[in-house]
Amino acid sequence: MAAERPASRSSKFTFGAVRLYDPVGKTLDQSCDVLVIGGGPAGSAISTLLAEKGWRVTVLEKDRHPRFHIGESLLPLSIPFFERLGVLPEIEAIGLRKYAAEFHSMYHDKSSRFHFREALDSSFPYAFEVKRAEFDHVLFRNAAAKGAEVREGWRVTGVALKDDRIQGVTAVDEQGAEQHWSPRFVVDASGRDTFLANYFGIKSRNPKHNSAALYGHFRGAQRQCGQDEGNICIYWFDHGWFWMIPLKDDLMSVGAVCWPYYLKNRKVPVQQFFRDTIALCPGVEARLAGAELVSEVTATGNYSYQSSRMRGDNYLLIGDAFAFIDPVFSSGVHLALNSAFEGADTVDAVLRNPAAAVARMAGFERTVRRGLKTFSWFIYRITTPVIRDLVLHPHNRWRIKDAVISLLAGDLFRGTPVGPRLLIFKAIYYLKTVFDPQTSYAAYKRRRNNIAV
C-alpha cells in the first residue's frame, strides 16, 4: 500500500515568513522522512520540493548563510526551476542578465559570441550572473519558508549503514553537541565536500580530465557595452582558459582554470602568481588594467572528480556530491538543480511505493549520467585546437550552431532535438582531427600528459 502523505510539522518559532530551528528548544524530534546533507542549491531545491509534497524534511548545513561560493554564472534553462521554486523575482533582483556566452582566442585574434536567443528553442533568451552568497541564501531561506526544517552550523559526521541502507545519521553543532537522526531517506547534497562518497570510499579523480583553478573578484574591470554587459567571457591561453563573469556592484569574477602541472610550478605567493597568470592572456590583462583586486585569491585543485555510484537502498547523491567536471560551460548549478528536481520526484515515489524503488532510482541515475556525459564530451576537448577553430568559425548548416547554443543554455532534458545535431558536430570534429593529424596528435599527447600529473 502506498504511504500516506504526512502532515507538515510546525516549527518552534518563526522569523518573518521563514521557519527556523530553535537552538534552545528542549523537545527535539530527531526523526524525519528525508534528511538532506547540505544547504546549497541542490539541497535547498530538493528540500523545498519534498516539503511541498508534505514530507518532513530536515536540512543540515555545516556553514551559515550567506557564505562565499564560486560558480556565479547560471544557464537559461535554470529559469523554469526558479519559477517552480517561486524564487524567480528574487533571483532577478540580485542578478545581472546574461544574454550570451563569448569565446576569445589570442591565437586567432578573434572572438565568437553565442546568443541564447538563437538556440533551437528561443524561449529562454537569457540567464543570470549572481553572487553565489546571495543566490544560495535565497534558495536556502525559500526551503525554510516552504516547510523544511533547516539547521545551520550542523556538520554531519557519520552514518550507520546496514545492507546498503542508511539507518542513522550523526551530526554535531558549532558547540560540539551531537545528535542522531533516523530518517527514512537520505539525500547527499554536500557539494564538493562529497560526504557520502568520501565516507564510502567511492570518490576518485576523473581519469579523463584534470584541472585546477585560481580565482578572485575585481572592481573596476572593463565591461562589455549595452545588453552584452552580462555576458560570460571565456579566454583561452597556453595553460588552460580564463573566465570573466560580470556581477552587480561593478564586480568581476575572474578565474583561471589550468592544467595542474602549471599550478604545481608556483614559487611565489598565490596573489602574485594569479597576477602573473593574468599577464599571460592579453585579453584578460587589458580588461583588468586599472582594476582593483577586492577579494582573497583562492587556489584549488581536484576540480574534476566522480563517484562510482550515486544511489543506495535509501539514499541518493545529487549535484556536485556525485561528480564535478569543469566550470567552462557553467553547468554545475544547472546540473545540480536538475538532479534535485529529478531526485525530488524519485524520493517521493520511493517513499510512497517502496516496491518501485529500484526502477525509479535507476531512471534517476540514467537521466543524471546522460547530462554529465553530454557536457563532458565538449569539456574534455575545449582546449584543443580543433574545438577552438569550430567555436570561432561556427557554421549553422543543419542548425548545428543552434544546437551548440542549446547545449550552452542547458537544454538537455526536455526532449528538444539537440542530440542529432550535436552528433553531426562531433563528426565534423573527428573529420577535422583526421585532416590535421600532426596538430591533433600533439594536442592529444599534451592532454594525456597533463591528465597524468
Average pLDDT score, the chain? 91
Secondary structure (3-state) at 13: strand
Secondary structure in 3-state letters for 399-419: HHHHHHHHHHHCCCCCCCCCH
Q: Which residue has the higher pLDDT, 436 or 33?
A: 33
Q: Assess contact for 316 and 343: CB atoms under 8 A.
A: yes
pLDDT of 1 strictly over 90: no
| Nearest residue to 193 via CA among 375, 51, 69, 309 | 69
What gap in Å lies between CA 266 and CA 259, rounded to an integer?
12
Q: Assess contact for 199 and 158: CB atoms under 8 A.
A: yes
Secondary structure (3-state) at 243: strand
Q: What is the pLDDT of residues 107-153, one digit of tens each?
A: 999 999 999 999 999 999 999 999 999 999 999 999 999 999 999 99
Residue 222: predicted pLDDT: 97
- Give CB contacts under 8 A, 24+ apart, made by 98-101: 98/73, 98/74, 98/126, 98/127, 98/128, 98/129, 98/230, 98/231, 98/232, 99/125, 99/126, 99/227, 99/228, 99/230, 99/231, 100/228, 100/231, 101/231, 101/232, 101/234, 101/330, 101/408
pLDDT over 90 percentage in the chain: 81
Q: What is the pLDDT of residues 338-392, one digit of tens each?
A: 999 999 999 999 999 999 999 999 999 999 999 999 999 999 999 999 999 999 9
Choose the weakest-confidence range: 7-11, 183-187, 381-385, 440-444: 7-11
What gap in Å lies between CA 131 and CA 69, rounded to an integer?
8
| Mean pLDDT computed over 79-85 | 98
| Mean pLDDT computed over 323-333 | 90
What is the band of 441 on the pLDDT scale with cuts at 50, 70, 90?
confident
The per-residue b/e assignment along 96-112, b for 16 or more CB within 10 angstroms, e otherwise, is bebbbbbbbbeeeeeeb
As given in the structure block, the three cell numbers for residue 325 are 567536471
What gap in Å lies between CA 435 and CA 424, rounded to an integer?
17
Q: Assess contact for 440 and 433: CB atoms under 8 A.
A: yes
Q: What is the pLDDT of residues 202-230, one digit of tens each?
A: 999 888 888 889 999 999 999 999 999 99
Q: Residue 386, CB half-sphere, CA atoms under 13 Å: how many?
A: 23
* Domains of the chain, CATH where assigned: 13-68+134-205+305-369 (3.50.50.60), 210-300 (3.30.9.100), 383-452 (no CATH)
Residue 453: predicted pLDDT: 64
**Distances from the Cα of 249 to the Cα of 34, 91, 129, 179, 252, angstroms:** 38, 15, 12, 41, 9
Q: Assess contact for 72 and 26: CB atoms under 8 A.
A: no
